[in-house]
Amino acid sequence: MERALPAPRDRSEPIFPGGPAADPAGSHHERRIRSFRPRRGRVTPGQGEALRRLWPQWGLDIDGLRRIDLGELFATEAGPRPDLPVLLEIGFGMGEATAQMAAADPGTGILAADVHTPGQGNLLALAERNGLDNVRVANGDAIILLREMLAPASLSGLRVFFPDPWPKKRHHKRRLIQPEFIELAATRLKPGALLHCATDWEPYAEQMLEVLSASPAFDNTQADGGYTPRPDFRPLTKFEGQGLDKGHLVHDLIFRRNDT
Ligand SMILES: C[S@@+](CC[C@H](N)C(=O)[O-])C[C@H]1O[C@@H](n2cnc3c(N)ncnc32)[C@H](O)[C@@H]1O
């Protein structure tokens, strides 16, 4: 007896009705070289429930089709918050460190971007459980978010913690921290805003230091022009823990956007 096969899922459709889109920017803003692999991953029932319920309120698909008003994005029942300083975190993974930093700094909005569906559900659930009204979760390529959807000089900070190291030489072009990305980031940051990167991959740390030091738009907060000692306010991230278990050294880099 022939068994009917389930209809193939349209890959552009969200897995969760009303949840994050599978490919929010579609071919409008196709970037050939991406710094991430598409990561749908296995979503737990709790993460799925959080995505279904909280995405419409706190989620943002990076479709590259409109400019975002950050005051509106971070609106609460009391109304929009046009004066809220907003930091962008690119690649929050499972979001534990993001939620901890948001809880420690309720007067700052955290716009957290990743493509990782289970992590998006996890961060939404953490935000709700901890009563955080200063976290918004963006789904898709953060480069499209920066380039198409954020206004010039709109961000008060940028965090890139443990970006994919892409260790193979032929993959180096996929690394996020490159001169072109830093130039774009500089246009979206306010003067005085901090760009904070961390990595456990030594050659990538060296690349970050080189690229950031060469940018006329940023000044190293370290007078000696080197790495920043690990700041207390950055919690241990999941990826960092895995790197430390392997004996990797972790480097932080904190640069300030100057007036140029
Ligand atoms: C190595 S993981 C680190 C996650 C987390 N920061 C941690 O330390 O545990 C890097 C994350 O960055 C995300 N990512 C890489 N490039 C991205 C991009 N252009 N836009 C959004 N997310 C990106 C990946 O999906 C992945 O979840």
Burial class (CB within 10 angstroms; exposed 0-12, middle 13-18, buried 19+) of 195: buried
Catalytic one of 23, 83, 105, 164: 164
Residues 6 or more apart in contact with residue 9 via CB below 8 angstroms: 15
Of 31 and 74, more confident: 74
In a domain, 159, yes or no: yes
Calculate the CA dihedral of residues 236, 188, 111, 132 and round it to 10 degrees: 90
165 CB within 6 A, ligand 1? no
Catalytic site includes residue 232: no
In a domain, 25, yes or no: no
For position 142, what pLDDT does the model report? 97
Q: In which domain, by residue range, is 183 found?
A: 48-257
CATH code of the domain containing 132: 3.40.50.150
Of 45 and 5, more confident: 45
Task: Specify whether the CB–CB gap between 150 and 73 falls below 8 A.
Answer: no
For position 8, what pLDDT does the model report? 56
Q: What is the pLDDT of residues 75-92, one digit of tens each?
A: 999 999 999 999 999 999
Kind plus residue range of the DSSP H or E element containing 235: none
For position 92, what pLDDT does the model report? 98
For position 2, what pLDDT does the model report? 54
Best mutation site among 39, 92, 139 for ligand 1 pocket (most ligand atoms within 8 Å of CB) = 92
Kind plus residue range of the DSSP H or E element containing 201: none
Best mutation site among 114, 196, 234 for ligand 1 pocket (most ligand atoms within 8 Å of CB) = 114
The CA distance from 120 to 95, in Å, is 8
Number of structural domains the chain divides into: 1
In a domain, 78, yes or no: yes
Task: Specify whether the CB–CB gap between 179 and 215 falls below 8 A.
Answer: yes
pLDDT at 62 over 90: yes
pLDDT at 256 over 90: yes
Q: What is the pLDDT of residues 146-198, one digit of tens each?
A: 999 999 999 999 999 999 999 999 999 999 999 999 999 999 999 999 999 99
Q: Can you give the pTM of this predicted structure?
A: 0.94
92 CB within 6 A, ligand 1? yes
Instruction: Write out the binding residues for substrate.
Output: 168, 200, 237-240
In a domain, 35, yes or no: no
Q: Which of 28-32, 81-85, 102-106, 179-183 has the lowest mean pLDDT?
A: 28-32
In a domain, 211, yes or no: yes
Q: Give which of 6, 35, 12 is closest to 24, Cα–Cα.
A: 12
For position 10, what pLDDT does the model report? 58
In a domain, 17, yes or no: no
pLDDT interval class at 18 (50, 70, 90): confident
Mean pLDDT, all residues of the chain: 93
